[in-house]
Amino acid sequence: MPKVENSLSPAGRKLLNDFRGILGDLGDLRMLVKQIRRKFKERGEEEEKARVDKVEAREEADQVATYPRVLLHLLPTNFKVRKLISDLSRRL
């Protein structure tokens, strides 16, 4: 292409150089878009995993919340059983 470039006027050479610069910028832009898409994909996968983790965490929290309820329910029951045994032992 140097022959064609040499045959151009200074304005034509400038236009050709600008066009080459634009093509180079488009290549850089294309690479940047690829990187951005990859980052968004990775981020989406991380967010999906976080959503699953949140669901699992909520289920585990619900399970853990049942334990104090069970203990609070058993405590009076256990107290009543102890009192009953104590009363029975006094009578014997």
59-83 pLDDT, tens per residue?
888 887 887 777 677 767 777 767 7
The DSSP output letter for 9 is -
Residue 1 has a pLDDT of 56
Q: Which pLDDT score is estimated for 55?
A: 84
HSE-CB for 20 with a 13 A CA cutoff = 8
Expressed in angstroms, the distance from the first to the final Cα of the chain is: 116
Integer-rounded Cα Rg, in Å, for the chain is 38
Supply the pTM of this predicted model. 0.45
Parse the chain into domains and list their residue ranges.
2-91
Contact 76, 83 (CB under 8 A): no
- Angle at the Cα of 20 (from 15 to 24), degrees rounded to 5? 145
- Residue 85, pLDDT > 80, answer no
